[in-house]
Amino acid sequence: MTTEWKFVGWYYKHQGRTLGPVPTEELFGLCTAGQVRCHDPVWKVWQVGNHRETLQTRAELALELGRSAPEADVPAGPRERHAAG
């Protein structure tokens, strides 16, 4: 079993439906095209084995998260569990 957290992608709401996963670049494109608005909820998802972690935020903050350093891509919860495991 792998113990490394893998980025699954972003999920988002559009016209009442949850869509995804999409890569960060595609989320940026959806925001630029206006299909995802700055206050729309989005979820960044990671997975290790059968376990998933999510970070829910607004699209405007997701754009900043996507530009951050790679270490910031994994939230504290999975990083701490990974280090402890």
Q: How confident is the model over 9-47, as pLDDT tens digits?
A: 999 988 889 999 999 889 888 888 888 888 788 898 999
In a domain, 29, yes or no: yes
Q: What is the CATH number of the domain that holds 75?
A: 3.30.1490
Task: Please report, to the nearest 10 degrees, the dihedral formed by the alpha carbons of residues 16, 19, 25, 31 taken in order.
Answer: 0
Judge whether 12 lies within some domain. yes
What is the domain range of residue 34? 6-79
Is residue 27 domain-resident? yes
Note whether residue 84 is domain-resident.
no
Name the residue with tokens 């949850």.
18
Q: Is 18 within the bounds of a domain?
A: yes
21 found inside a domain: yes
| pTM for this prediction | 0.68
Domain-embedded: residue 1: no
44-61: pLDDT as tens digits: 899 998 898 888 877 776
Q: Greater confidence, 54 or 63? A: 54
